[in-house]
Amino acid sequence: MFSIADIDKETRKRLYGQQKVSTVEDAQMSAGSPMFTEEDVHSTQHCLDIILRSVFVSKRISKDFFSAKCHEYALSQGTLPLQANTFGSNLMRTLVKGNITINRFLEALNVLGMTLADMQVTVKSSHGADEKFSVQETADIR
């Protein structure tokens, strides 16, 4: 992980001046090139890609920040340092490539220190009726 000192002075001034960051972690997430852009969100039709990329854009997560978080996460899971680098590279490549699985989706959220609170799916029948299914609602029924 890098410190606020690693972010060049001009970038810090620009980010703080625009009120886009309020903490050191916000500055770290925003420093460097973004992992995904709005164009990336709209360039795929895979639902998990769209949702995850939207999270990255919304939180302004940069490639450098995500790479550092991957390394940190892998080490916390007991991975050797060299394998931690491989883990981060493989996960980043998978996310950029697209068509991610639910396991990779959840893994990316875990790397960022996030958890999935709920997931909802809307199913349209052949008659045109929409029906929504939610993990949270299903758990409430049990």
Span 43-100, pLDDT tens digits:
999 999 999 999 999 999 999 999 999 999 999 999 999 999 999 999 999 999 999 9
Enumerate residues 6+ apart whose C-beta is below 8 A from 79: 87
Residue 3: pLDDT over 50: no
* Phi-psi category of residue 108: left, alpha or beta, with phi > 0 → left and psi -120 to 50 → alpha: alpha
Percent of the chain with pLDDT over 70: 76
Question: CA separation (Å) from 88 to 14, 22, 53, 75, 124?
Answer: 29, 27, 17, 11, 37
User: Do residues 135 and 118 lie in contact, with contact meaning Cβ atoms separated by under 8 Å?
Assistant: yes
Q: What is the pLDDT of residue 128?
A: 86
Enumerate residues 6+ apart whose C-beta is below 8 A from 17: none
Residue 21: pLDDT over 60: no
